Amino acid sequence: MDATRHIEVRGLVQGVGFRPFVHRLATSLGIRGQVRNAGGHVVIEATGAPADLDAFVSGLERVKPAAARIGQVSVAERPPDHPEGFAIVESAEAGGLPEIPPDLATCADCLRELFDPADRRYRYPFVNCTACGPRATIIEALPYDRVRTSMRGFVMCPACAAEYDDPADRRFHAEPIACPRCGPRLRFAGVTGDPALRAATEVIAAGGMVAVKGLGGFQLVCDAVNEEAVARLRRTKDRRGKPLAVMVRDVTAACALAHLGPPDLALLTSAAAPIVLAPRRRGMLAAGICDGMTDLGVFLPYTPLHHLLLDGLRRPLVVTSANYADSPMPLERVNLEVDGVLDHDRPIVSRYDDSVIRAGGTTIRAARGLTPAVHRLPVPSPEPLLAVGAQLKNTFTLVDGDRAVLGPHIGDLSDAETHDAFDTTLERLSGLHRITPAVAVHDLHPGYLSTRIAQRHPRRLAVQHHHSHVAAVAAEHHLEPPFLGVAYDGLGMGDDGTFWGGELLLATYTGYERLGRFSRAPMPGGTSAVRRPARMALGYLLGGETFQAPPFRLAAGLPDREVIEHMIWRGVNCPAASSAGRLFDAAAALLGLCDVNRFEGEAAMLLEGAAAGHEAEPLAWRLERRDGLWVYDGVATLIDLVAARDDGEPVGKIAAAFHATIAAATVLMCERASDVGTVCLAGGVFQNRRLGAEVTSQLECAGFEVFTGRQIPVNDAGISFGQAAIAAARLACA
Ligand code: ZN
Ligand code: ZN
Ligand code: FE
């Protein structure tokens, strides 16, 4: 006797080939009925023998398309129905927040065709199917259909149209479907198609630098083994010091360059295909890739074009955004001096940089393949919101009810171009999700460009920076308030008008109480001291809260030392900061590891790199009560560090001891300050894997439950999500 069941599947099930998959599964089991998209989920009406229906439901999760993420499957019995066959029903516009499918790395089936000389898409750089290909980067409007993508200008040939219309074909309703006859085409130096690709390949093989139109913007590509090519690429885009990511052909090549565990390999080969930061192996790469760093960023080809380039060149390639300095990645043309531009005629609608995840699963940058991501807020917002984020590593978050849409990485809001990029991305995402924000949420810092952007809105809410960091972690894990927040970063505006950055907060989603902090030190020259770690070392040792520094010498040079000392003694242009990031800077400077922070966090990364392979007991440190707060005194630690250095202790061992000190001080601060047992680790300093691991294990030994950002970045890219969670909760209880 046949039964009928109503099945709803939630999660990432649209734009990933889910309906054709359901059709194939149902047909193979003799199930009759239909499948359709509804709002953000998929609805199935299935009729068949109960045993077959059971197999069908379990098969939905077991053999789902690689890119699909099944959130929740609900099954309800219905009165028996008698449908004929199994149909895919056209999407009905339904309520709920529409989800934009992310771009998906080339699937195994398409890859096989790409390199099969007998296939009609042999060496075609735009091959894709319902399980892979461009999505968010080509979508102009929803629902997701070819006419509302940048593929609308390409008329399908009969062969493609037949595949597109055949429910049994894996290209059934593959909106960007294309072939060499009807699809986009490459261009390079006056030639088109495969000769263009071959010509560009030759230029790169000869040590040249080519701009390549990628998925979410133009990229610069050169040989990652060729020292000169890498140095030139750095000069061309004015990128000094900051590590470059390397694209390799396959998992084997990746494992030759970095230590990658099974979870890292799973990340690398996922449909999002992010850059994975993992401990590097000594080897063949040019020194200019990531000198002095523990980690190397590796990733795999994620478009057919990347696969073809890697296949032709058979060596690791630098693949990085083709922008100058901090400006946004270009979408239409490249304004850098390159040896050629490998262009094509499929327009890029939205900019998506490559995503970056640190081995172990901490998201550093959420962009292509990972965003826009819809997260549930712990407290729904009574009104639609726009949270504008911070200044550096900017992102924004849009909120409708309990749904928070985290937008892609925009970059450092430093100039008019990034400002424009913010506006364009915001306009597109708010349009696609149909969210018209009633309230803008911003940081307390009046100088952030994001704060000024928020001022365009008549209704605003200001949220403290470190409260946002902590709330971002708590909201990602839906923690019950109250929770302790350990927020360590470079600088953020405190509610007392001073800079914070080494904070212990007791927080809920609506408010917080500051329980502890790092000791304060003057920043000689203001935020310009961020660039010069040696200035911070002087600041701590000569102007810290407890002045007791013995005579010492700086390992790193500081040409204007006398001037700086006078600034500190007179208190001229020396704002104080209680920052963990600045203490890392000072330690790195005193160990001779870093003269100039060429990019945010460089000194701390070098310090972490130096500590690799060393174990050590903590240096000296003190925790004191001052004005009702627990204060960890960083000066005591730095003085001990200088003594160890002058005793000739190896730098690596001292660096390890410094990490152990911060971990020990953090744990004691949490134990002393409160009896709340849940701790959120937040802020950019926790991108430091060693520190994160030490603090977590020691807190867990002390009986705390510890959380940190996984999908939401712990750095300032997660600030907008934290702002959103706080504003929603405040408005809900107002
Ligand atoms: Zn595919
Ligand atoms: Zn075609
Ligand atoms: Fe921050």
Q: Ligand 2 centre from 178 Cα, in Å?
A: 5
For the segment 379-435, what is each residue's pLDDT rounded down to a tens digit? 999 999 999 999 999 999 999 999 999 999 999 998 889 999 999 999 999 999 999
Nearest ligand to the C-alpha of residue 127?
Answer: 1
pLDDT at site 502: 98
Nearest ligand to the C-alpha of residue 184?
Answer: 2
Q: Ligand 2 centre from 134 Cα, in Å?
A: 16
pLDDT at site 555: 57
Q: Ligand 2 centre from 137 Cα, in Å?
A: 21
Among 61-65, 87-91, 314-318, the range scoring the smallest mean pLDDT is 87-91
For residue 551, pLDDT over 90 is answered with no
Q: Ligand 1 centre from 105 Cα, in Å?
A: 8
- Give the count of beta carbons closer than 10 Å to the beta carbon of residue 314: 9
Give alpha helix (H) positions in 416-497: 416-433, 449-454, 465-476
State how far the Cα of 49 lies from the Cα of 29, in Å rounded to an integer: 10
Q: Ligand 3 centre from 466 Cα, in Å?
A: 7
Among 57-66, 549-558, 592-601, the range scoring the smallest mean pLDDT is 549-558
DSSP H helix total and E strand total for the chain: 20, 31
State how far the Cα of 208 lies from the Cα of 211, in Å rounded to an integer: 10
Q: Ligand 3 centre from 447 Cα, in Å?
A: 15
Q: Ligand 1 centre from 9 Cα, in Å?
A: 22
For residue 596, pLDDT over 70 is answered with yes
Nearest ligand to the C-alpha of residue 130?
Answer: 1
Q: Ligand 3 centre from 504 Cα, in Å?
A: 14
Nearest ligand to the C-alpha of residue 181?
Answer: 2
E-strand stretches of 95-151: none
Nearest ligand to the C-alpha of residue 154?
Answer: 2
Q: Ligand 1 centre from 372 Cα, in Å?
A: 21
For the segment 532-547, what is each residue's pLDDT rounded down to a tens digit? 999 999 999 988 887 6
Q: Ligand 2 centre from 35 Cα, in Å?
A: 27
Q: What is the percent of the chain where pLDDT is above 90?
A: 80
52-66, 307-321, 359-373, range with greatest mean pLDDT: 307-321
Q: Which secondary-structure segment (H or E) carries 234?
A: helix 227-236
Q: How far is CA 209 from the centre of its chain?
A: 26
Q: Ligand 2 centre from 64 Cα, in Å?
A: 27
Q: Ligand 1 centre from 482 Cα, in Å?
A: 46
Could you tell me if 248 and 269 are in contact, meaning their C-beta atoms sit under 8 angstroms apart?
A: no
pLDDT at site 10: 82
Q: Ligand 3 centre from 390 Cα, in Å?
A: 8
Question: Strand, helix or coil at 720?
Answer: helix
Q: Ligand 1 centre from 43 Cα, in Å?
A: 24
Nearest ligand to the C-alpha of residue 17?
Answer: 1
Q: Ligand 1 centre from 104 Cα, in Å?
A: 9
Q: Ligand 3 centre from 563 Cα, in Å?
A: 30
Q: Ligand 3 centre from 81 Cα, in Å?
A: 57
pLDDT at site 557: 63
Going from the C-alpha of 411 to that of each of 216, 328, 375, 446, the distances in angstroms are: 14, 7, 21, 19
State how far the Cα of 104 lies from the Cα of 132, in Å rounded to an integer: 5
Residue list, CB under 5 A from ion ligand 2? 157, 160, 179, 181-182
pLDDT at site 554: 64
For residue 229, pLDDT over 80 is answered with yes
User: Left if phi > 0, otherwise alpha if psi is -120 to 50, otherwise beta: which for 503?
Assistant: beta
Nearest ligand to the C-alpha of residue 493?
Answer: 3
Q: Ligand 1 centre from 369 Cα, in Å?
A: 15
Q: Which residues pair with 222 in a beta bridge?
A: 318
Nearest ligand to the C-alpha of residue 156?
Answer: 2
Q: Which residues pair with 156 in a beta bridge?
A: none
CA end-to-end span of the chain: 56
Among 330-339, 501-510, 547-556, the range scoring the smallest mean pLDDT is 547-556
For residue 695, pLDDT over 70 is answered with yes
Q: Ligand 2 centre from 541 Cα, in Å?
A: 69
- Residue 306's nearest CA partner among 248, 391, 256 is 248
Q: Write the CB contacts of 50 (distance below 8 Å, at least 6 apart in sequence).
A: 3
Work out the pLDDT band at 64, boundaries 50, 70, 90: confident
Work out the pLDDT band at 123, boundaries 50, 70, 90: very high
Report phi then psi at 593, rounded to 5: -90, -20
- Which two tokens mark 74? 């609900």
- Which two tokens mark 382? 């009574």
Q: What is the percent of the chain where pLDDT is above 70?
A: 97
Q: Which secondary-structure segment (H or E) carries 6?
A: strand 3-12
Q: Ligand 2 centre from 114 Cα, in Å?
A: 14
State how far the Cα of 361 lies from the Cα of 180, in Å rounded to an integer: 38
* Mean pLDDT score of the chain: 93
State how far the Cα of 114 lies from the Cα of 125, in Å rounded to an integer: 8
Nearest ligand to the C-alpha of residue 601?
Answer: 3
Nearest ligand to the C-alpha of residue 20?
Answer: 1
Amino acid code (one letter) for 158: P
Nearest ligand to the C-alpha of residue 179?
Answer: 2
* Sign of the torsion formed by the C-alpha atoms of 707, 711, 714 and 716: negative
Nearest ligand to the C-alpha of residue 163?
Answer: 2
Q: Ligand 3 centre from 611 Cα, in Å?
A: 24
Q: Ligand 1 centre from 255 Cα, in Å?
A: 25
Nearest ligand to the C-alpha of residue 174?
Answer: 1
Q: Ligand 2 centre from 204 Cα, in Å?
A: 30
pLDDT at site 16: 80
Q: Which secondary-structure segment (H or E) carries 731?
A: helix 719-733
Q: Ligand 3 centre from 364 Cα, in Å?
A: 13
Q: Ligand 1 centre from 221 Cα, in Å?
A: 24
Three-state helix/strand/coil letters over 594-611 = CCCCCCCCHHHHHHHHHH
Q: Which residues pair with 461 in a beta bridge?
A: 441
Nearest ligand to the C-alpha of residue 448?
Answer: 3
Going from the C-alpha of 207 to that of each of 200, 314, 341, the distances in angstroms are: 11, 14, 15
Q: Which secondary-structure segment (H or E) carries 722?
A: helix 719-733
Which whole number is the average pLDDT over 317-323? 97
Give this prediction's pTM: 0.92
Q: Ligand 1 centre from 245 Cα, in Å?
A: 25
Residue whose tokens read 């010091």: 241
CA contacts within 13 A on the Cβ side of 513: 11
Q: Ligand 3 centre from 324 Cα, in Å?
A: 25
Give alpha helix (H) positions in 549-592: 561-570, 580-590
Q: Ligand 1 centre from 107 Cα, in Å?
A: 4
For the segment 27-59, what is each residue's pLDDT rounded down to a tens digit? 999 999 999 877 667 889 999 999 999 999 999
Nearest ligand to the C-alpha of residue 158?
Answer: 2
Work out the pLDDT band at 83, boundaries 50, 70, 90: confident
For residue 282, pLDDT over 60 is answered with yes
Work out the pLDDT band at 97, boundaries 50, 70, 90: low
